Protein backbone atom coordinates (compact mmCIF):
# COMPACT_ATOMS: atom_id res chain seq x y z
CA UNK A 1 0.00 0.00 0.00
CA UNK A 2 1.39 3.37 -1.04
CA UNK A 3 1.69 6.21 1.43
CA UNK A 4 -0.39 9.25 0.40
CA UNK A 5 1.23 12.58 1.30
CA UNK A 6 -0.61 15.14 -0.84
CA UNK A 7 -2.74 17.05 1.68
CA UNK A 8 -5.32 18.21 -0.89
CA UNK A 9 -5.80 14.62 -2.04
CA UNK A 10 -5.96 13.40 1.57
CA UNK A 11 -8.59 16.01 2.44
CA UNK A 12 -10.66 14.97 -0.57
CA UNK A 13 -10.25 11.22 0.04
CA UNK A 14 -11.06 11.60 3.75
CA UNK A 15 -14.31 13.35 2.82
CA UNK A 16 -15.19 10.58 0.35
CA UNK A 17 -14.35 7.91 2.95
CA UNK A 18 -16.01 9.64 5.89
CA UNK A 19 -18.97 7.23 6.16
CA UNK A 20 -16.64 4.26 5.76
CA UNK A 21 -14.38 5.64 8.52
CA UNK A 22 -17.33 6.04 10.89
CA UNK A 23 -18.39 2.44 10.15
CA UNK A 24 -14.83 1.32 10.82
CA UNK A 25 -14.91 3.21 14.13
CA UNK A 26 -18.06 1.29 15.06
CA UNK A 27 -16.36 -1.96 14.04
CA UNK A 28 -13.33 -1.19 16.22
CA UNK A 29 -15.50 -0.32 19.23
CA UNK A 30 -17.04 -3.79 19.11
CA UNK A 31 -14.10 -5.78 17.73
CA UNK A 32 -12.90 -8.81 19.59
CA UNK A 33 -9.52 -7.22 20.30
CA UNK A 34 -8.10 -6.26 23.64
CA UNK A 35 -7.22 -2.62 24.15
CA UNK A 36 -3.58 -3.63 24.48
CA UNK A 37 -3.62 -5.65 21.23
CA UNK A 38 -5.28 -2.83 19.27
CA UNK A 39 -2.77 -0.35 20.70
CA UNK A 40 0.04 -2.62 19.55
CA UNK A 41 -1.37 -2.86 16.01
CA UNK A 42 -1.91 0.90 15.82
CA UNK A 43 1.61 1.58 17.11
CA UNK A 44 3.09 -0.75 14.48
CA UNK A 45 1.29 1.06 11.65
CA UNK A 46 2.00 4.47 13.17
CA UNK A 47 5.73 3.79 13.37
CA UNK A 48 5.78 2.52 9.78
CA UNK A 49 3.92 5.55 8.42
CA UNK A 50 5.61 8.19 10.62
CA UNK A 51 9.01 6.97 9.41
CA UNK A 52 7.97 7.82 5.87
CA UNK A 53 6.28 11.20 6.38
CA UNK A 54 8.13 14.34 7.40
CA UNK A 55 5.73 16.62 9.27
CA UNK A 56 7.84 19.61 8.23
CA UNK A 57 6.82 19.08 4.60
CA UNK A 58 3.16 19.37 5.59
CA UNK A 59 2.41 21.37 8.76
CA UNK A 60 -1.29 21.14 7.93
CA UNK A 61 -2.16 20.63 11.60
CA UNK A 62 -0.56 24.02 12.37
CA UNK A 63 -2.45 25.55 9.46
CA UNK A 64 -6.00 24.35 10.14
CA UNK A 65 -6.24 23.39 13.82
CA UNK A 66 -6.65 25.58 16.91
CA UNK A 67 -5.46 23.66 19.96
CA UNK A 68 -6.73 24.63 23.40
CA UNK A 69 -3.70 25.70 25.40
CA UNK A 70 -3.08 24.86 29.03
CA UNK A 71 -1.97 27.44 31.57
CA UNK A 72 1.38 25.71 31.55
CA UNK A 73 1.65 25.98 27.75
CA UNK A 74 0.94 29.72 27.89
CA UNK A 75 3.59 30.25 30.57
CA UNK A 76 6.17 28.21 28.68
CA UNK A 77 5.58 30.05 25.38
CA UNK A 78 5.50 33.49 27.02
CA UNK A 79 8.73 32.68 28.85
CA UNK A 80 10.35 31.53 25.62
CA UNK A 81 9.40 34.84 23.99
CA UNK A 82 10.45 36.73 27.14
CA UNK A 83 7.11 38.50 27.48
CA UNK A 84 4.50 38.43 30.23
CA UNK A 85 1.67 35.92 30.20
CA UNK A 86 -0.74 38.84 29.93
CA UNK A 87 1.06 40.22 26.85
CA UNK A 88 1.19 36.75 25.29
CA UNK A 89 -2.55 36.27 25.77
CA UNK A 90 -3.30 39.76 24.46
CA UNK A 91 -1.08 39.42 21.39
CA UNK A 92 -1.66 35.82 20.33
CA UNK A 93 -4.73 34.26 21.94
CA UNK A 94 -8.49 34.43 22.21
CA UNK A 95 -10.95 32.59 24.44
CA UNK A 96 -11.82 29.11 23.17
CA UNK A 97 -15.38 28.79 21.87
CA UNK A 98 -16.38 25.38 23.18
CA UNK A 99 -14.38 24.91 26.36
CA UNK A 100 -12.49 26.87 28.99
CA UNK A 101 -9.08 28.10 27.95
CA UNK A 102 -7.39 29.89 25.09
CA UNK A 103 -6.63 29.18 21.45
CA UNK A 104 -4.48 31.05 18.97
CA UNK A 105 -6.35 34.06 17.62
CA UNK A 106 -5.60 33.26 14.01
CA UNK A 107 -4.85 30.45 11.64
CA UNK A 108 -2.35 29.31 10.69
CA UNK A 109 -0.59 29.28 14.04
CA UNK A 110 1.22 32.60 14.47
CA UNK A 111 4.42 30.67 15.24
CA UNK A 112 4.47 28.69 12.01
CA UNK A 113 7.14 29.91 9.60
CA UNK A 114 8.07 27.97 6.48
CA UNK A 115 6.25 24.90 7.82
CA UNK A 116 8.27 24.93 11.04
CA UNK A 117 7.41 25.99 14.58
CA UNK A 118 9.59 28.86 15.75
CA UNK A 119 8.67 27.93 19.34
CA UNK A 120 9.38 24.23 18.84
CA UNK A 121 11.09 23.69 22.20
CA UNK A 122 8.31 25.60 23.98
CA UNK A 123 5.38 24.39 21.87
CA UNK A 124 2.09 23.39 23.53
CA UNK A 125 1.73 19.89 24.93
CA UNK A 126 -1.13 19.14 22.53
CA UNK A 127 1.21 19.94 19.61
CA UNK A 128 3.96 17.77 21.10
CA UNK A 129 1.71 14.72 21.22
CA UNK A 130 -0.20 15.17 17.94
CA UNK A 131 -1.38 13.00 16.20
CA UNK A 132 -1.69 10.96 19.43
CA UNK A 133 -1.40 7.59 17.70
CA UNK A 134 1.45 6.57 20.00
CA UNK A 135 -0.75 6.89 23.09
CA UNK A 136 -2.41 4.00 24.86
CA UNK A 137 -6.16 3.33 24.65
CA UNK A 138 -6.56 4.24 20.98
CA UNK A 139 -10.11 2.86 21.01
CA UNK A 140 -11.23 5.71 23.29
CA UNK A 141 -9.98 8.41 20.90
CA UNK A 142 -11.62 7.17 17.70
CA UNK A 143 -13.86 10.18 17.13
CA UNK A 144 -10.79 12.43 17.06
CA UNK A 145 -8.96 9.94 14.83
CA UNK A 146 -11.76 9.95 12.25
CA UNK A 147 -11.89 13.76 12.34
CA UNK A 148 -8.10 14.01 11.96
CA UNK A 149 -8.04 11.81 8.84
CA UNK A 150 -8.63 14.92 6.74
CA UNK A 151 -6.01 16.96 8.62
CA UNK A 152 -2.97 14.73 9.02
CA UNK A 153 -1.33 12.49 6.41
CA UNK A 154 -0.05 10.22 9.16
CA UNK A 155 -3.53 9.70 10.63
CA UNK A 156 -5.07 9.19 7.17
CA UNK A 157 -2.49 6.56 6.19
CA UNK A 158 -2.61 4.74 9.53
CA UNK A 159 -6.40 4.56 9.29
CA UNK A 160 -6.22 3.15 5.77
CA UNK A 161 -3.64 0.56 6.84
CA UNK A 162 -5.76 -0.40 9.87
CA UNK A 163 -8.78 -0.93 7.65
CA UNK A 164 -6.76 -3.26 5.43
CA UNK A 165 -5.26 -5.07 8.41
CA UNK A 166 -8.38 -5.50 10.54
CA UNK A 167 -11.46 -5.08 8.43
CA UNK A 168 -12.57 -7.63 5.88
CA UNK A 169 -14.12 -6.48 2.60
CA UNK A 170 -17.60 -7.55 3.71
CA UNK A 171 -17.50 -5.05 6.61
CA UNK A 172 -16.70 -2.16 4.28
CA UNK A 173 -19.95 -2.25 2.36
Q: How many domains does the chain have?
A: 2
**57 and 78 fall within a common domain:** no
2 domain-assigned: no
- 105 and 26 in a single domain? The answer is no
Global pTM?
A: 0.93
**Residue 102, domain member (yes or no):** yes
pLDDT tens sequence across 113-154: 999 999 999 999 999 999 999 999 999 999 999 999 999 999
Give one DSSP letter per residue of 126-140, joined into a string.
Answer: HHHHTT-TTSS-GGG
In a domain, 39, yes or no: yes
Answer whether residue 47 is part of any domain. yes
Residue 35 lies in a domain: yes
35/74 same-domain check: no
pLDDT digits (tens, 9 = 90+) for 22-47: 999 999 999 999 999 999 999 999 99
For 162, the domain range is 7-61+131-172
C-alpha distance from residue 5 to each of 47, 66, 133, 146 (Å): 16, 22, 17, 17
C-alpha separations of 19 from 10, 13, 94, 133 in Å: 15, 11, 33, 21
Amino acid sequence: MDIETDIQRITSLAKIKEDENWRFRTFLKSADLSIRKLDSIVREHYEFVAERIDCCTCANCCTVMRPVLSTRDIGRMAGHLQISRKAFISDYLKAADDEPGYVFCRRPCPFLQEKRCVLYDARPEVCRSFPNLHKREFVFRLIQVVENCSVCPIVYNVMERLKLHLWSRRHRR
